[in-house]
């Protein structure tokens, strides 16, 4: 299924599940997290946005997916800023700033190399957060360790294996949940997990997903059917129908 279709179905799932969000609790954790006065619309926007993010996460195991390109762009920007900061601080190039520059340039190459570098940089980012925010306690630390593990495994496994399995969903969901609980942001995890599950369901009807990876079920590694061929008219129709339904439901909520 196309990345666009995944995003559209993720969007629809977020809109459908929006009324399930307990706005009272959301308001509590929002004020604790930011001390700002958020209105319902902003809470809804965050829920929906994270649902879409969750719906493209499983395809970070593929170099040409929408999510991978986004992660690469973010990693490249951070490396460039870090390079400028290091050069600025020392007044000249040094070994570390040159390494940062080389890694940044490598991500411009695209393909598997850029994807692997980006996933490993994501893992490094989790480790940095783990060290910097150790004050949030053991739950936060275990959560960041799980997110690091998820990123490293995703860097090296084949497409539609780990990230498209229950194990992958569990590691990511538990990692996010544990890391976000001490920050009073646990509810954000549910939005991401809903998007993630919808991605797996969508892939299950377009060729199947290895639900029990790394275990095999007899001859078959993937469970599912091939109702929708990636890039086909059906694929586009599912995406468009999801968008239309989203607009209809959103109009109902926010009229
Ligand atoms: Zn997928």
pLDDT at 215 over 90: no
User: What confidence tens digit (pLDDT) does each residue in 149-159 have?
Assistant: 999 999 999 99
pTM given for the model: 0.87
Over residues 17-74, the pLDDT tens digits come to 887 776 555 555 555 444 444 445 667 788 899 999 999 999 999 999 999 999 999 9
CA 48–ligand 1 middle distance (angstroms): 19
| C-beta of residue 100 within 8 angstroms of C-beta of residue 79 | yes
- Residue 94 CA to ligand 1 center (angstroms) comes to 41
- The rounded Å distance from CA 45 to ligand 1 centre is 24
| Cα(199)–Cα(195) distance, integer angstroms | 6
Question: What's the CA-to-centroid distance between 180 and ligand 1, angstroms?
Answer: 25
Q: Considering the chain, what is the average pLDDT of its residues?
A: 87
Range 137-141, long-range pairs (CB < 8 A, 24+ positions): 137/182, 139/178, 139/179, 139/181, 139/182, 140/178, 140/179, 140/181, 140/182, 140/183
Q: How far is the CA of 78 from the centre of ligand 1 (A)?
A: 26
Ligand 1 centroid to Cα of residue 139, in Å, is 29
| pLDDT at residue 38, as a whole number | 44
Q: Which two tokens stand for residue 170?
A: 């569990």
What pLDDT is recorded for position 31? 53
- Between the CA of 244 and the centroid of ligand 1 the distance, in Å, is 22
How far, in Å, is the centroid of ligand 1 from the Cα of 196? 9
Report the pLDDT value the prediction gives residue 255, as an integer from 0 to 100.
64
d(CA 208, CA 24): 39
Give residue 58 CA to ligand 1 midpoint distance, Å: 6
Helix (H) or strand (E) holding 37: none
- For residue 93, the CA-to-ligand 1 centroid distance in Å is 41
Task: Give how far Cα 249 sits from Cα of 14, 15, 77, Å.
Answer: 11, 7, 36
């Amino acid at each position: 299924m196309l990345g666009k279709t995944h995003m559209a179905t993720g969007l629809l799932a977020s809109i459908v599940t929006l009324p399930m969000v307990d706005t009272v609790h959301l308001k509590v954790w929002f004020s604790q997290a930011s001390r700002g006065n958020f209105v319902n619309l902003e809470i809804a926007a965050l829920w929906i946005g994270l649902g879409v993010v969750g719906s493209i996460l499983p395809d970070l195991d593929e170099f040409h997916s929408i999510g991978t390109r986004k992660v690469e762009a973010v990693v490249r920007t951070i490396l460039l800023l870090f390079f400028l900061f290091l050069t600025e601080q020392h007044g000249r190039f040094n070994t570390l700033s040159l390494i940062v520059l080389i890694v940044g340039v490598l991500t411009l190459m695209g393909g598997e190399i850029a994807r692997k570098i980006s996933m490993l940089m994501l893992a490094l980012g989790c480790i940095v957060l783990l060290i910097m925010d150790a004050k949030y306690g053991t739950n936060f630390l275990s959560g960041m360790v799980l997110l690091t593990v998820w990123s490293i495994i995703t860097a090296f496994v084949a497409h539609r294996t780990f990230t498209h399995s229950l194990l992958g969903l569990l590691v990511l969901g538990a990692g996010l949940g544990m890391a976000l609980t001490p920050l009073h942001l646990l509810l954000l995890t549910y939005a991401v997990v809903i998007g993630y599950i919808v991605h797996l369901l969508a892939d299950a009807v377009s060729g199947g997903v290895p639900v029990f990876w790394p275990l095999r079920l007899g001859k078959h590694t993937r469970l599912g059917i091939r109702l929708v061929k990636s890039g086909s008219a059906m694929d586009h129709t599912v995406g468009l129908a999801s968008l239309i339904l989203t607009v209809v439901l959103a109009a109902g909520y926010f009229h």
